[in-house]
Amino acid sequence: MATVAEEWLNICGGCEVAILDIGEKLLDLLPSLQFVHMPVLMDHKYYGQIGEKTELEIPQADVGMISGGIRNEKEKHVAEEMRKKCGTLIALGSCACFGGIPALANMYELQELYDKVYRGSKSTESNNTPSVDLPPLTDRVYALDEVVKVDLYIPGCPMNPAIIVEALTALLNGKPFSLPERSVCDDCPTKREEKSNFSLKRPLQDADFTPGDYGSLRCFNEQGIICLGPVTKSGCGKPMNGGENVPRCVKGFMPCRGCFGPIRSDANPMVDMMSALSAIGLDAKLVEDRRAMFNRYIGGQKRLRPLPTAGRRE
């Protein structure tokens, strides 16, 4: 029996829902797993039931799973405590693996964010930045492995439940787990002609497709709709109980947004994506706000930083 502790840091909650989405397979795993800490399911106070303790209290566990990156000092403290208490630590989801969508904020200085949110937004009454009884924000959003050592990565926004099962099963059997270095394009059933006779479209413009018929769908990039499949790790379409392996967004007739992150940790998706677009005849320099577009989920690990004001729009 392996004990498991799960924590959520700077998250939206989607990754926790993905854990519950494991469904019946979770029942198969439960005889071998004992969840000892999981705030989304179990009431467990950090400082004792009535706040009587002075030390953050997370139980020892064989496996720790953390969703969410790190945006404030409390999350940093919890991540450090999880690292101390857990034998193997898993980064769950793109926020934990790379900073995720919240790390788009890394394109701005902290003070600019405060000014925008509390004083520069048309829908908000201008006020001071709140500070009482709140943990201070960190200077930027950090991916989990920028703060503590991570043993295993399960990317995705949210993760694919089938991959959580595969990773946990491997751990329980003492086997290694990692996702293969393949791209989303490698699993994509769309038709490719290796050239585009379209110009770039706005991201929300419709693609040409026949509902239910992937076979007749032409590659989104070739249709002029930016798809990050060439620079994104595959795995999102892995089925839980057999069946076809079609990338999740393509299955919904949408282009890949890059949530599984780079195919290799040392890759530069922005440069690689510009080459992929140029190779089919599209002018990548015309992509609006391409720094954010090509780094949408991976702004942690110092991939996104504030630019001088003059360089903000590319």
Within 13 Å of residue 200, how many CA atoms lie on the same side as its CB?
A: 16
Stretch of 40-48, 121-129, 165-173, 223-231 lying at the interface with ligand SF4 (CB under 6 A) = 223-231
Please report whether residue 256 would count as binding ligand SF4 according to CB under 6 A. Answer: yes
- Pull the structure tokens for residue 273: 């994506």
Stretch of 76-84, 117-125, 126-134, 251-259 lying at the interface with ligand SF4 (CB under 6 A) = 251-259
Closest to 42 (Cα-Cα) out of 56, 59, 27, 25: 59
The amino acid sitting at 44 is H
DSSP conformational letter for 117: I
Strands (E), the chain: 2-8, 33-37, 61-67, 70-72, 86-92, 137-142, 152-154
Show contacts with ligand SF4 in window 179-218 (CB under 6 A). Answer: 184-185, 188, 190, 192
Residues 6+ apart with CB under 8 A from 234: 179, 180, 182, 183, 184, 186, 187, 247, 260
Tell which one of 19, 101, 171, 280 touches ligand SF4 (CB under 6 A). Answer: 101
Give the C-alpha separation, 210 to 163, whole Å. Answer: 30
Between 62 and 214, CB nearer to ligand SF4:
214
DSSP helix, strand, coil percent of the chain (3-state; round to 5):
35, 15, 50
Burial 137-161 (b: 16+ CB within 10 A, else e): bbebbbbbbbbbebbbbbbbbbbbb
Tell which one of 106, 138, 196, 232 touches ligand SF4 (CB under 6 A). Answer: 232
- Distance of closest approach, residue 54 Cβ to ligand SF4, in angstroms: 30
Tell which one of 161, 224, 255, 262 touches ligand SF4 (CB under 6 A). Answer: 255
User: How many residues contact ligand SF4, by CB under 6 A?
Assistant: 36
- Distance of closest approach, residue 156 Cβ to ligand SF4, in angstroms: 6
Please report whether residue 15 would count as binding ligand SF4 according to CB under 6 A. Answer: yes
CB 33 within 8 A of CB 4: yes
Between 168 and 249, CB nearer to ligand SF4:
249
Query: Using CB under 6 A as the criterion, what x/- string covers residues 53-72 for binding ligand SF4?
Result: --------------xx----
Q: Which residue's Cβ has the minimum distance to ligand SF4?
A: 229
- Distance of closest approach, residue 209 Cβ to ligand SF4, in angstroms: 11
The amino acid sitting at 311 is G
Tell which one of 65, 91, 104, 249 touches ligand SF4 (CB under 6 A). Answer: 249
Chain contacts with ligand SF4 (rule: CB under 6 A)? 11-12, 14-15, 67-68, 93-95, 100-101, 157-158, 184-185, 188, 190, 192, 219-221, 227, 229-230, 232, 236, 247-250, 255-260
